[in-house]
Amino acid sequence: MILILLINLKLMEEISIRETIEPLNRSTLRNALKINGTVRSYFSEFLRNMGYLEIPPVIYSTATDPLNHPVFDTSFEYYGQKYSITKSMIFHKQISVQYLGKIFTFSPNVRLETSDKASTGRHLSEFTQIDIECLNATRDDMISLAENMISGVIAEVKNKNSQDLTDLKRILNQPEKPFVKIRYEDALSQHGKHFEDVLSAKMSDPFWIIDIPVNEREFYDREDPENEGYLMDMDLIYPEGFGEAISGGEREFEIEKILQRVALKGQSPDQFKWFIEAASGGLLPSAGFGIGIERLVRYLCGFPKIEMVTPFPKVPGKRSI
Ligand code: AMP
Ligand code: MG
């Protein structure tokens, strides 16, 4: 892996320091940061009012999200113990709600995405998600919480940042709840394997993709006991071609099922040692989701690229400071 990383570093697209600093001067960055401020305050207050406790982010850990797509490794050794930089706080969320009931966190994630992701307009190698988890909640509970958050934040930004939206010439549609739900298999059969992009470009309001097949996702997403092979999970997709906004769902909580799913992925329980040990003591069910903050701000601003929302973007495959 070290060798692969070195080769990749050599191939990194050279950008001068000047080019990296120059966007700091753009007025659109100022608009985006003001909208980012509204998003963070709105979500914090909204969730606190709903009884959610904010927990501080975890930056590195002995077990992080395995993810379902390849990224470069970010592990290191410290006093003989191997750690990884957080790709998501999924395990910390599932364990902390056992004690705290309802939690949220603004969680910085480092995912060293491959350089083909640079042109999607929605991938950074360092980003923040507002990550939420609730004990004894169902997917439907989380869908309605997310719908309230997304439609609430759109209304708040239209109200508090109307001048920024005018500066950006952004007309934001206020979506109607409940959002449309489309089953994964239906989307696939009607629109082919790029259904997410096709539907995102066609729709004018956010919509859900539900019932994603087991092999498309990680071991911790709960398999539907009444619909074998499909998960009790959901993705929210932005309209106007902005793509994925949210992923989430119910979690596997029974240790036998967790171990089965880890094995199905060809992974070793050792990779998730502390989580598996904690889960072996018995877990209550929970559900949750994560909203990528930079993607949300990009959508609210109507920007062509995600890197326009942040002063020091980490664009996959490009040298950053
Ligand atoms: P995931 O659970 O992997 O879908 O991640 C949760 C959310 O984080 C996604 O729905 C996105 O909004 C956001 N996200 C994931 N990967 C990236 C990335 N590379 N750059 C920016 N945002 C991301
Ligand atoms: Mg996702």
pLDDT band, very low/low/confident/very high, at 8 (cuts 50, 70, 90): low
Residue 236 C-alpha to ligand 2 middle, in angstroms?
Answer: 9
Residue 261 predicted with pLDDT over 80: yes
Do 3 and 125 contact (CB within 8 A), yes or no?
A: no
Residue 308 predicted with pLDDT over 50: yes
CA atoms within 13 A on the CB side of 79: 1
Please give the pLDDT value at position 321. Answer: 85
In order of 6, 104, 164, 309, the CA distances from 256 in angstroms are 40, 27, 51, 43
Do 231 and 222 contact (CB within 8 A), yes or no?
A: yes
Residue 300 predicted with pLDDT over 80: yes
Mean pLDDT of 164-170: 98
Burial of 297 (0-12, 13-18, 19+ CB in 10 A): buried
Residue 245 predicted with pLDDT over 60: yes
Residue 9 predicted with pLDDT over 70: no
Residue 90 C-alpha to ligand 2 middle, in angstroms?
Answer: 12
Tokens of residue 280, six digits: 């072996």
Q: Which of 2-6, 185-189, 278-282 has the lowest mean pLDDT?
A: 2-6
Do 132 and 104 contact (CB within 8 A), yes or no?
A: yes
Q: Among candidates 265, 251, 256, which has minimal Cα distance to 223? A: 251
Please give the pLDDT value at position 168. Answer: 98
Q: What is the DSSP letter of 264?
A: H
Nearest residue (CA) to ligand 1, atom 22:
292
Please give the pLDDT value at position 5. Answer: 47
Instruction: Report pLDDT digits (tens) over 110-132.
Output: 999 999 999 999 999 999 999 99
Which domains does the chain possess?
Answer: 23-309 (3.30.930.10)
Q: Can you say whether residue 136 is alpha, beta or left, with left for phi > 0 and alpha for psi between -120 and 50 degrees?
A: left
Burial of 186 (0-12, 13-18, 19+ CB in 10 A): middle
Please give the pLDDT value at position 7. Answer: 46
The ligand with the least distance to the CA atom of 129 is 1
Mean pLDDT of 131-138: 98
Q: What is the DSSP letter of 284?
A: -
Contacts of 149 (CB under 8 A, 6+ apart): 43, 46, 291
Q: What does the alpha-carbon distance between residue 224 and residue 219 come to, in Å, rounded to a whole number?
A: 13
Q: Which of 129, 133, 142, 251 to mutate to test the pocket of ligand 1 (most atoms within 8 A of CB)?
A: 129
Q: What is the DSSP string of 105-133?
A: EEEEEE-B--GGGGGSSS--SEEEEEEEE
pLDDT band, very low/low/confident/very high, at 23 (cuts 50, 70, 90): confident
Residue 60 C-alpha to ligand 1 middle, in angstroms?
Answer: 18
Nearest residue (CA) to ligand 1, atom 19:
123
One-letter amino acid identity for 46? F
Beta pairing class for 286-292 and 180-183: unpaired
Considering the entire predicted model, what is its pTM?
Answer: 0.95
Using CA atoms in the order 261, 265, 268, 273, what is the torsion angle rounded to 10 degrees? -50
Nearest residue (CA) to ligand 1, atom 11:
292
Mean pLDDT of 202-230: 97
Query: To the nearest whole percent, how much of the chain has pLDDT over 70?
Result: 96
The ligand with the least distance to the CA atom of 127 is 1
Residue 127 C-alpha to ligand 2 middle, in angstroms?
Answer: 13
Residue 3 predicted with pLDDT over 50: no
Q: What does the alpha-carbon distance between residue 221 and residue 284 come to, in Å, rounded to a whole number?
A: 14
pLDDT band, very low/low/confident/very high, at 2 (cuts 50, 70, 90): very low
Residue 21 predicted with pLDDT over 90: no
Residue 1 predicted with pLDDT over 50: no
Please give the pLDDT value at position 20. Answer: 80
pLDDT averaged over every residue in the chain: 95
Contacts of 239 (CB under 8 A, 6+ apart): 173, 200, 203, 204, 205, 206, 207
Contacts of 308 (CB under 8 A, 6+ apart): 23, 26, 28, 29, 32, 298, 301
Q: What does the alpha-carbon distance between residue 36 and residue 34 come to, in Å, rounded to a whole number?
A: 5
Please give the pLDDT value at position 200. Answer: 98
* CB of 168 sitting under 6 A from ligand 1: no
